[in-house]
Each structure stands twice: as structure tokens, then as C-alpha cells.
Structure 1
Amino acid sequence: MFACVRGRKSSREKILDAAAELVSEIGSGRLTLDAVAERSGLSKGGLLYNFPTKEALLQAMIQRLIDQVTSEKEALRQRAEPGPNLEARLCTQTLLNMCGGKMKDVATGMLAASSENPRLLEPVRETVKQTLEQLKTTSEDVDASLLAWLAVEGIRSMEMHDISPFSEEDRERVVQAVGRLLSKGIAA
């Protein structure tokens, strides 16, 4: 019995998957609980049991994005080479790995939703604040770590909004420079 249950997604996961698909397709502003219930294959009552409001659903989607970034970072940690500025290297590589695809569409939709309700981004603000403090306290070269993080966040932000002027070659040059900066530091 456990083998069958283990492979099935929970109702909550189905709802979050359906909501992410819809946000990618139509944006968060046009997202409705009815559409999410239909897409997830659950009744509206089942959806409301898990997420009583659209805001609760959006908050869970944002938390899920944060959790995915954290999981990716921890997976990278298992394979990371020892060396200077480890947390900054993990943080920047995680952000670079998660820039595109479906995550970009969902993150963009969540950012749009936050324009109507800025409180939705409170968990993101807290995560960014914690990341900054972690970089300050764990980096061998704090300046290099902060510059690298800001450079990657800038790339990610421009790509998320489809305003990046960088060619693939230019982007790769910046990524390589970030890698050199973190492995050798500014004073190299």
C-alpha cells in the first residue's frame, strides 16, 4: 500500500503545480481559484481546504519557489569543491541554474502579483536579508562575494524581465568573471 501512495502527488502539490502552469500561461492577475481547481483535477472545495484564498495560494507558490532555490543550493553543496567564498559560489551558481524556464515564468508572475499585494514578497525579502548576512559572515572576501551576488542578481533580474542586453557570449563572460572573482578574490 505504501508503494502506491508514495509515488502520488498530494492535493497540495497538484494545486501548486496547476497554479504554476496557469501563472506561466496567463499571469497571476487572471489566475482564479476555479481555474486552478479545474486544472488540478480537484473540486473547488478540495482546493479551498488547502488554500482558502487566492492570497494563501500565491503565498504558498512563493514559499515553494524559495524552497526550490534552497533545495538546489543544498544539492550543489553536496558536489561543491572546497575553497574560498563557498556560500557565495553556491548562491550565485544556484541563481544562475534557476534563471530560465518554467521557474522564470512563475517568478515573473509572482512578482506581478506582488505589485497588487506587496506583502506577498515578505518571505523573499527575509530570504534576501538572510542571504546577505550569510555572505557577510562566511565569505573570506566579503567584497568579492557581494559584488558577485549583485552581478548575478542583476543578470537574473534582466533575464526575468526580458530586458537583458547581453548576448550568450557576454553573459558567459560575466559568469566566468564572477567565478574568478569568487575563487581568487579582488586582491588576486
Structure 2
Amino acid sequence: MARTTQKKQGATKRGAETRTRIVEAAIEVVAEQGARKFSLDAVAQKAGISKGGLLYNFPTKAALMTAMVARHVDGFSRHFQEERERFASEGHPDPLMRGYLETFRFHLCRKSRPPSGFLAAIAEAPELLDPVREQNAKLMQTIREGCKDPGFAMMTFLTLEGIRHARLFDVDEMSDAETLAVIDRLIALTDRGSVGDTGARTAPQPG
């Protein structure tokens, strides 16, 4: 019985490692070739496995791309939690939003822009955005329940989402320096612990 359990655990671990290797290979392929030229054959070659092995783990291109988006979301969420805990330990007046701003600043302004063709992939497979929707829903609930100033927090969230989507649609006319200046201004306001007379301190609840 113990040997059977160990075999199952070993198989599960190997399967997880294989899926991780495939997702990492897919991210590299998109970074090198763009989403328009993204193919399962290219990913299999990059990962060093057969196409059949890839399809066993990810039966469709959409399933693989969803896993890629989920990996990005998970990485962002882990980084956000680390930053939130760090600012809380330092006694920041609003560690949630300060941590979110720091995480957003790092991921958006210190890393590459969204890969070319990603919008086309989303149009073909809207479920790619499911992990993003889940992340945003959790964040909004956290803002409603845990922010010192939910109204300012929502304003900040919408500002950052505007920056993110302008870059995704490739219609942003701001330089990286200008974008950083906006984010740093929001950080400065958050560090003050108050944004002045902003009106109601309670965020509206969804209808």
C-alpha cells in the first residue's frame, strides 16, 4: 500500500513538473515569436517533449494559454501578498493598496509589454481572461472590506486598470517615465495615509 501511494505521489509530481515545463516553454515561445505565431508544435519542441505528451497535459491551445495567463496571475498575486505583508510589518497606514501599487509598478513598468497578438488570442478564446476576472473580483472584495479609504482605493484600481488596458490595446501615448510618475504620485498619496477631502469613505456596494 505504501509503495503504491509513493508511486502515485511520484507520478503526480512528475506530471506537475511536466505541465510547468510546458507552460514555461509556451511563455518563451510567445516572447520570442509573438502570439500570432504561437503553435503547439513550437511549444513541444521548446519543452523537449512530444506533441502527444503536450496534448495529454493541455488538449487545446486555449487550455495552454489559459494556464499561461493563470501563471502570470498567480505570480502577481504572490508578489502582491508579499508586498502587502511587508508594508503591514512596517506599519504602513494602508498596506493593501501600498502593496498593490508596488506590485503593479514592478510588473508593468519593469517588465515587457503584453505580447503582440494577445488580443487576437483573447478574441478567439475569451476564457483566457477567467483567471484575471477571478483575481479582480477577489481584489475588489478585499478593497471593500479592508482598505482605510475604499473610495480612493477604487480610484487607484481604476487608474491602474486604465494603464494596463491602454498598453494591452497598444494605444497608450504615455512614456514609461510618465507612467511611473503617475504611479509614484499615487504611492505618495497612499503613503500620506490620507488623500484629503475626498468625500465619502465608504465604497459603493455592487447592486
Determine if the alignment matches structure 1 residue 173 to structure 2 residue 181: yes
Aligned residues of 1:144 and 1:181 also touching (Cα < 8 A)? no
Higher gyration radius (CA): 2
Match of 1:139 in 2: 147
Deviation at 1:40, TM superposition (A): 1.1
Deviation at 1:114, TM superposition (A): 1.0
Match of 2:165 in 1: 157
2:152 maps to a residue whose letter is: A
Which segments of 5 or more consecutive residues in structure 2 lack a partner in the other structure?
1-12, 198-207
Deviations 1:137-163 (A, max 9, x none): 111111111122222222333344444
Match of 1:84 in 2: 93
Superposition TM-score, scaled by structure 1 size: 0.82
3-state secondary structure, aligned to 1:99: helix
Superposition TM-score, scaled by structure 2 size: 0.75
Q: How far apart, in 2, do the equivalents of 1:74 and 1:49 lie?
A: 33
Select the structure with the greater relative contact order (CA < 8 A; seq sep ≥ 6).
Answer: 1
Deviations 1:77-134 (A, max 9, x none): 342232222211111221111115666335x654431111212212211211211111
Match of 2:54 in 1: 47
Match of 1:127 in 2: 135
Q: How far apart, in 2, do the equivalents of 1:105 and 1:122 lie?
A: 17
Aligned residues of 2:85 and 2:95 also touching (Cα < 8 A)? no
Superposed counterparts of 1:20-31, under 5 Å:
20-31=27-38
1:51 maps to a residue whose letter is: F
Q: How far apart, in 1, do the equivalents of 2:177 and 2:31 lie?
A: 28
3-state secondary structure, aligned to 2:174: coil
Q: How far apart, in 2, do the equivalents of 1:148 and 1:51 lie?
A: 37
Match of 2:125 in 1: 117
Q: How far apart, in 1, do the equivalents of 2:85 and 2:137 lie?
A: 24
Superposed CA RMSD in Å reads: 2.5
Q: How far apart, in 1, do the equivalents of 2:74 and 2:22 lie?
A: 16
Q: How far apart, in 2, do the equivalents of 1:64 and 1:78 lie?
A: 21
Q: How far apart, in 1, do the equivalents of 2:132 and 2:179 lie?
A: 25
Deviations 1:57-83 (A, max 9, x none): 111111111111011112223422322
